[in-house]
Structure 1
Amino acid sequence: MSRHDFQIPLVFKHRIVFTRDAFSPGNPALEEVLREGGGRRVLAVIEANVAKAWPSLAADMQSYLDATGLDVRGVDVLPGGETVKKDDALVRRVWELIDSGHIDRHSYLIVVGGGAFLDAVGYAAATAHRGVRLVRFPTTTLSQDDSGVGVKCAINHFGKKNWVGAFAVPFAVVNDFAFLHSQDEETRRAGLIEAVKVSLVKDAAFFDWIEEHAEALAALEPSVLETCVERSALLHARHIAEGGDPFECGSSRPLDFGHWAAHKLEALSGYQLDHARAVSIGMSLDTLYSAKKGLLASEAAERVLRVVELLRLPLYHTAMDLRGPGGKRRVFDGLEEFREHLGGRLTVLLLTAPGKGTDAHEMDETVLEACMVELEERCAARH
């Protein structure tokens, strides 16, 4: 027997840019990013809903990219929304565009859209030629403050969220605040839940700030909203880059606080419950559970639930009541699916204080039942 071990160190630059009106003539942000990579061709795809909201966007992008001197292989509008993750139809369409446009590993694919669209297009980019350079333009609160600055991409399969996917560091992420303010109010507000989440697991001072500005955030005051999105995005990116496990080889996933229930609730609702509201419920559930298990002061748990309510986000959904054989709540299946997704033992982050957490390796379903009943009652009392 002969064995030889080699270490292969990997270094990626994770570029995150904050700007406004990125495709306006004279805005150097995107051109500087593209020049840095030295690529020669560029292809762009826009989510249909974004193109509808910004009728001149495709033409503006074409003009901007032409002015860079790069070989522009097309600016295409493609269908978006959560349904694009249900199968690989959009992925295959993007592969076709990459192939017909002769986009190679030294070229760029620019994608403009919300989180689900970025996920599906990102998976296509990660797998074409084993990875082409992806420049993301997240357009929603949720994608600008969380998923768009991450290093993952995926579509759903086997009735499970993000089952098919890859880790692929984007060449750059450009958060254009002009897009942020073009969403409808409910979507804009709901995406703030990931900022609340990351504050609870990483930065107590940020949670204090969110609590202090909750009414302004609920009212979507532009400067406060932009500050919140930027702080959240940088906390997410810093954890990925500096947390020691960017590609999630271990089982501890603090940024997935509340997500074991959230992902299952999305699936149980037939994806009628969107990711932001599902995270709101899952995070509230795990916060209350942390308190009932004696890990988190009840006063702290109440602060968290009150912030969720001030942001006009849900604590409960009827999908929590669906039961399987023997009367077991089907949402509890999310714990085993979460463990499988982690690839090891079950590890769920619970709170000990705002900004601090601890890993738990088992969850008491009896206590979770009590938490769900309490959240349902609290929700009913609000109405």
Structure 2
Amino acid sequence: MEKIIEQAFAVPFRYQVCFLEGIFDLTNPLLANFLDNGKKAKAFFVVDNGVSNAFPDLLKDIRDYADAYQDKFILSAEPLIVEGGEISKNDEATFKKIVDATSIFGIDRHSYIVGIGGGAVLDMVGFAAAISHRGIRHIRIPTTVLSQNDSGVGVKNGINAYGKKNYLGTFAPPFAVINDFNFLTTLDDRDWRSGISEAIKVALIKDIGFFEWLEKNATALANREMAPMQELIIKCAQMHMDHIAGKDPFETGSARPLDFGHWAAHKLEHLTQYQVRHGEAVAIGIALDSTYSYLKGMISKLDLMRIINLMKALGFGIYAHELSGKELLKGLEEFREHLGGELTITLLEYMGKGVEVHQMDSDLILQSIDQLKLFHQEKVVADS
């Protein structure tokens, strides 16, 4: 006997990304309203130590806020402080502390885990929330430019394993995302700049007008003016969410246009023991793939120099000595595995329009690296 029973159903996902200043202001009920499930829900806060160090009163502010809105939610335990940056994704013991807490403090599927921090910490906290009880509601409070405009507003969670970026992870949309611009005021220049690379990325593959806006506002952004940064974050977050709402939000296929520049970036991070930060590595990866696009005859020299000049105006490095040699090329194979078998790389069909390719010429990649080194040394003069 042979019989097949087929099941098909759709599950809608909806979440809000909010932008404000003063999330723990006692007169601002936004977060409390998200935490209000009508049953005085438990909330467990996980805080990036970089944020708690920069804002010494943050833990007190969380407690005071919980006291002010105790009719809506309660703290299940003292906030957990975790080390920020990529180390939070490299050390499995870190995310296990969160999983352990869900058992110790009775944090169930009607509770909330609130992550406050940069993109790496939010990735790790989201992963812990997604695998505990098969999914605990997770609220993200991103505190860096990169997490507010890109990683924090998406649906990916994960940690690093086996020397590979995001090898363990889930697709699990957050319950809500709350971007508080006040957290950006204490960022060092590297973290302020780092997230702008993701804006360059989406502009190059989706919106030439946005790229022109970045060129016009490069000096203001480099000078840490808040108004253009807020505009950049909101624009970039909207474009990121529009993409997620498209045909393949959980990336079941091999097309990853939002990973433009990322195959090299992920490998470069690993080769530098994560001394090069994600956004910095993405900037170099974008420069590399843009140069490759130029050498393939897809964009002009003038187009390429606009990209390089924008990055330099913003203060990005466009070369790292770890790019030299063939070790970087292993990143292509790792990226292919990450995609599920078929290599799909986004290059530039023209400025503002990405195009997918399924193979790359290793010799041309090495030529692109040599060209970046020359750009880095300012030995090349732009021409059209």
Structure-2-length-normalised TM-score: 0.95
Q: Report how far residue 377 of structure 1 moved.
A: 1.2
Q: Residues of 2 paired with 1:21 and 1:35: CA distance?
A: 19
**Counterpart residue number, 1:352:** 349
**Counterpart residue number, 1:193:** 197
Change (3 A) 1:352 1:60: same
Q: Report how far residue 382 of structure 1 moved.
A: 7.4
The answer on 1:2 being equivalent to 2:6 is: no
- Within a 5 Å distance, the mapping from 1:133-172 to structure 2 comes to 133-172=137-176
Picking from 341, 360, 373, the partner of 2:338 is: 341
Q: Residues of 1 paired with 2:351 and 2:23: CA distance?
A: 35
Q: Report how far residue 115 of structure 1 moved.
A: 1.0
Q: Give the letter for the 2:327 counterpart.
A: R
Q: Residues of 2 paired with 1:130 and 1:7: CA distance?
A: 20
Change (3 A) 1:55 1:25: same
Q: Give the letter for the 2:257 counterpart.
A: P
**Counterpart residue number, 2:117:** 113
Picking from 95, 117, 120, the partner of 2:99 is: 95
Picking from 364, 368, 375, the partner of 1:367 is: 364
Change (3 A) 1:65 1:285: same
**Counterpart residue number, 1:125:** 129
Kept in 1: contact 2:280–2:317 (CA 8 A): yes
Kept in 2: contact 1:42–1:71 (CA 8 A): yes
Q: Report how far residue 298 of structure 1 moved.
A: 2.4
The answer on 1:184 being equivalent to 2:185 is: no
Give the superposed CA RMSD: 1.5
Range moving further from structure 2, 38-47 or 169-178 = 38-47
- Within a 5 Å distance, the mapping from 1:244-255 to structure 2 comes to 244-255=247-258
Count of paired positions: 376
Q: Give the letter for the 2:56 counterpart.
A: P
Q: Residues of 2 paired with 1:10 and 1:301: CA distance?
A: 43
Kept in 2: contact 1:66–1:72 (CA 8 A): no
Percent sequence identity is 43
Q: Report how far residue 186 of structure 1 moved.
A: 2.1
Q: Report how far residue 39 of structure 1 moved.
A: 6.3
**Counterpart residue number, 1:52:** 53
The answer on 1:211 being equivalent to 2:215 is: yes
**Counterpart residue number, 2:85:** 81
Q: Residues of 2 paired with 1:344 and 1:245: CA distance?
A: 17
1:145-180 Cα deviation digits (max 9, x unpaired):
111111111111111111011111010110000001
Picking from 258, 263, 266, the partner of 2:261 is: 258
Q: Give the letter for the 2:336 counterpart.
A: R
Gaps of 5+ in 2: none
Q: Give the letter for the 1:177 counterpart.
A: F
Q: What is the SS of the residue equivalent to 2:76?
A: strand
Q: Report how far residue 94 of structure 1 moved.
A: 0.7
The answer on 1:282 being equivalent to 2:279 is: no
Structure-1-length-normalised TM-score: 0.95
Q: Residues of 2 paired with 1:231 and 1:335: CA distance?
A: 30
Kept in 1: contact 2:40–2:74 (CA 8 A): no
Q: What is the SS of the residue equivalent to 1:181?
A: helix
1:248-277 Cα deviation digits (max 9, x unpaired):
001100000000000011111121111111
